[in-house]
Amino acid sequence: MSLRFFNTLSRKVEPFVPRDTGKVAMYTCGPTVYARAHIGNFRTFLVSDLLHRYLKYLGYDVTWVMNLTDIDDKTIKGANAEGISLRDYTDKYIALFHEDRKIIGITDATMYPRATEHIPEMVKMVEDLVSAKHAYLVDGSAYFKIDSFPSYGQLARLNMEEMRVGERVASDEYEKEDVRDFALWKNWEEVDGPVAWDTSLGKGRPGWHLECSAMSLKYLGKGFDIHLGGVDLIFPHHQNEIAQTEGVTHEPLARYWVHSEHLLVDGQKMSKSLGNFFTVTDMLEKGWRPREIRYGLLSGHYRQRTNFQASGLDSIKQALARFEACAVNLEHADGKGGLPELRDIVARREQEFRDAMDDDLNYPEALAAVFNFVREANTLCQEHKIGSEERALAVATMKRFDSVLGFLSLDEAVADPEAAEIEALIEVRNEARKSKNWAEADRARDELTARGIILEDRAGKTIWRRK
């Protein structure tokens, strides 16, 4: 089987066939940079990261674009409240976004275009939409005319005729021909302060949806492969993107739409009032290590609401410790002759891994294959069948798995400030053990245990780790 995933357009799992053989062009709706992104946002970006990593694993040449929304109501409000320029304000949050995403191992996208750097492209698109009679200008603002686009509502499976129209329509949009029409360009208002662009459309700023249409078209072209985002963006954001782009190109914006479900924290939607609203930094402060955050955020299938439990840390630590133990076991293995057996195991488990990922990115099942591989590799170590050749194969296999999983390589080998002290105590204990002075040996162990250090006596060597 080959790669296939659930396409929101068809609501079916479809085989993935790229536009250009061997190449994939994908676009992810990135963060609005008015505040530090929370772990729910990152869960969505992590899904894109997982797909990006897996496509690379499969050998595709991937172009991944993630936009940065640096112009909208919230960024304007924030910048004006602080009395600094929109640029300075958003620069700050863009830096924090990159800092956080690197911590949890989200790979670099090919580019991170900013909305404010694509105003001419957006203006051009509005002009084209106006000439195509898909848009109209009123009082310095431009609106997309929904009636002009018959398939509007299709992505979200909304029947526009029966849609409730009412109290949620903002009062400042009374000039629209139809309340359902959406803004492409917004006329400057007092509250915008210094934030405005003087263009052929007048003084104002772009509507939210327009940037993604303009930038995805510019960098990925017509009918690119995969567009990703959170489920909440299906309507109206992605629907509007489709209307804007296709109104100009008359071709599908993207051929596959992949949407990730929301993250719940302790069974509930994240919200500041419930006190379950966390950023990556918050998690680090609560004692989570980067790899633990990544593992926790990816604990379920991407189309399933995933419950992130603050109390799940111990369970996650234990699971990750299995991988570490396997690495240590392989490192200290001193046997031989297991190559044929190991080759079978590698082939079988890697096939399972691929089959699972191919099947709509079934990450939990792929992870199960990796856990099974770990158990079998451990068994071979125990049976003294692992020598240098076998070790090389097993380690290379784990690295290949981790090129997709991405948590094993996170935060490894950070020098422990107390390492010298700890190792001195271990030396004391080992001296005592040599002379069979068990009381003294246990005293050293107890002291280390009290400091949160776990010892493991291996053949000829004692290794340690923090709990």
For RNA, the binding residues in 380-399 under the rule CB under 7 A are 381-382
E strand or H helix at 43, and its extent?
helix 39-57
Strands 12-15, 4-7: pairing kind: antiparallel
Window 156 to 175, contacts with RNA (CB under 7 A): 156-160, 162-165, 168, 170
In the region spanning residues 83 to 142, those forming contacts with RNA, defined by CB under 7 A, are: none
- 247 forms part of the interface with RNA (CB under 7 A): no
Site string for RNA, 7-26 (x = CB under 7 A): --------------------
- Of 268 and 409, CB closest to RNA: 268
In the complex, the smallest distance separating the C-beta of residue 225 from RNA, rounded to whole angstroms, is 19
Instruction: Single out the residue of 309, 405, 297, 296 nearest to residue 43, CA to CA.
Output: 297
Report the candidate in 313, 357, 303 with the shortest Cα–Cα distance to residue 1: 357
Name which of 18 and 65 has its Cβ closer to RNA.
Answer: 65
How many residues in the shown chain lie near RNA by CB under 7 A? 89
Question: Can you tell me whether residue 436 is helix, strand or coil?
Answer: coil
Q: Which residues have CB under 8 Å from 233's CB, separation 6+?
A: 29, 259
Burial of 439 (C-beta count, 10 Å sphere; 0-12/13-18/19+):
exposed
Beta 135-138 vs 141-144: how paired, if at all? antiparallel
User: Please, what is the minimum distance in Å from the beta carbon of residue 370 to RNA?
Assistant: 8
Restricted to residues 297-316, the positions that interact with RNA (CB under 7 A) are 299-301, 304-307, 309, 312, 314-315
Would residue 264 be called left, alpha or beta, if left means φ above 0 and alpha means ψ between -120 and 50 degrees?
A: beta
Read off φ and ψ for residue 28, nearest 5 degrees.
-120, 135
x-marked contacts with RNA along 409-448 as a string, rule CB under 7 A: --------------------x---x----x--xx--x---
Rank residues 158 and 284 by Cβ distance to RNA and give the closer one. Answer: 158
Containing 198, the helix (H) or strand (E) segment is strand 197-199
* 180 touches RNA by CB under 7 A: yes
Q: For residue 280, what are its two tokens? A: 């990556």
CB of residue 373 vs RNA: minimum separation in angstroms? 10
Q: Does 378 bind RNA (CB under 7 A)?
A: yes
Binder of RNA out of 130, 243, 374, 425 (CB under 7 A): 374
Of the pair 411, 440, the CB lying nearest RNA is at 440
Task: Name the minimum Å distance from CB 394 to RNA.
Answer: 13
Contact range with RNA by CB under 7 A, out of 56-64, 123-131, 182-190, 385-393: 182-190
Stretch that binds RNA, among 37-45, 332-340, 385-393, 418-426 (CB under 7 A): 37-45
The residue among 53 and 145 lying less far from RNA, judged by its C-beta, is 145
Contacting range for RNA; rule: CB under 7 A; set: 18-26, 80-88, 126-134, 355-363: 355-363
Q: Would you say 140 and 125 are in contact if contact means Cβ atoms under 8 Å apart?
A: no
All residues at 6 or more sequence positions from 100 whose CB lies less than 8 Å from its CB, including other chains: 36, 37, 42, 279, 280, 281
265-294 footprint of RNA as x/- string (CB under 7 A) = ----xx------------------------
Q: Which residues of 250-265 are buried (b: 16+ CB within 10 A; e: fewer)?
A: eeebbbbbbbbbebbb
Beta bridge partners of residue 259, listed in sequence order = 229
Site for RNA in 206-235 (CB under 7 A): 207-208, 229-235
Sheet of 263-265: strands edge to edge? Answer: 268-269, 263-265, 306-308
Under rule CB under 7 A, residue 351 binds RNA:
no
